[in-house]
Amino acid sequence: MKASIKLVAGNANRPLAEAISSYLEIPLGACQVKRFADMEIFVEILENVRGEDVFVVQPTSFPANDHLMELLIIIDALRRSSARRITAVLPYFGYARQDRRAAGRTPISAKLVANMITHAGADRILTVDLHAGQIQGFFDIPTDNLFAAPVMVRDIKERLELGNLMVISPDVGGVVRARALAKRIDAPLAIVDKRRERPGESEVMNIIGNVEGRTCILVDDIVDSGGTLCNAAEALLAHGARDVYAYCTHGVLSGGAVARIASSQLKEMVITDSILPTEAVKVARNIRTITIAPLLGEAIGRTASESSVSSLFD
């Protein structure tokens, strides 16, 4: 079955695609993605894909619009080249935070992007830790939402003393995600409740749970500015926590986020390689990257052989 898989990658995260290729022992398909002088994207598939099961590895991370257009054009090129099935592998699904109308006259961009990928010709979606689970329903094609939790649990068990751990949700909205990780390592759960008493006043961090003397692990799906996690770390230490770590799936880390985290009281932040790490991330004193290539590789192999993907997380 492996011989019938074709793996194609855009420019968004080539090292991750190569790691998946190595895991599956399948060479990356020959695909040329280049730009004209006006930055218009051109794609050419340089090998036969007729009747093949093709997986396109392309997170829609910064610059999100460029990488999204690359994905759409690659899918269109494959469809017109008579690929039997096209699976869009999105380690990070950009626009996921625009999953509802937060105010009047605003879009639901996550649904728009889902429509675009579907209409381009994708037959199914493989992604990791969607910001909101209901985004699966935005796609009118089969969608597998993988979880990075098993990769994080393995890393936690290898590096930290389990008996004194406490898992922390940095906000009320992330409780389900934090509880799932806490259950896997048999650790108690606490919640950071942040609120602004009056406009213009700084946020007050209340800790729901006793963290005194504990090694705390903040868990989140996306770290962007890093402000919430840094503030939460300060609040936890002020309430008697011994050390604070953070485990996040998607290291967006825009603007001055890396400098903010490097100067924070976080002992270490661990992110996955769902988004290509920048040089600043690679040299940061307290940011470490773990790979999800085996997770994605296994899911791709199971999808190709029509085996269960959900059993990866049992």
CA quadruple 12, 18, 24, 29: dihedral, nearest 10: 80
For the record, the structure tokens of 162 come out as 């389990």
Find out whether 123 is annotated in a ligand binding site: no
Residue 300: in which H helix or E strand, if any?
helix 293-304
Find out whether 39 is annotated in a ligand binding site: yes
Find out whether 228 is annotated in a ligand binding site: yes
Q: Report the residue count for the chain.
A: 314
CA-to-CA separations, 181 to 22, 209, 306, in angstroms, rounded:
28, 17, 28
Residue identified by tokens 């935070």 is: 97
The 3-state DSSP class for residue 246 equals strand
Find out whether 99 is annotated in a ligand binding site: no
Strand residue runs (E) in 91-173: 124-128, 143-146, 165-169
Q: Which of 111, 194, 267, 282 is catalytic?
A: 194
Find out whether 38 is annotated in a ligand binding site: yes
CA-to-CA separations, 1 to 5, 26, 31, 287, in angstroms, rounded:
7, 11, 22, 38
| Cβ atoms of residues 195 and 203 within 8 Å | yes
Q: 21: how many CB neighbours lie within 10 A of its CB?
A: 18
CA-closest candidate to residue 229, choices 292, 165, 174, 186: 174
Find out whether 186 is annotated in a ligand binding site: no
42/36 Cα distance (integer angstroms)? 7
Question: Does 282 qualify as catalytic in the annotation?
Answer: no
Find out whether 98 is annotated in a ligand binding site: yes
For the record, the structure tokens of 29 come out as 């398909």
192/194 Cα distance (integer angstroms)? 6
Supply the DSSP symbol for 278: P
Find out whether 76 is annotated in a ligand binding site: no
Find out whether 58 is annotated in a ligand binding site: no
Find out whether 131 is annotated in a ligand binding site: yes
Binding residues for Mg(2+): 131, 171
Residues assigned a catalytic role = 194
Binding residues: 38-40, 97-98, 131, 171, 196, 220, 224-228
Binding residues for ATP: 38-40, 97-98
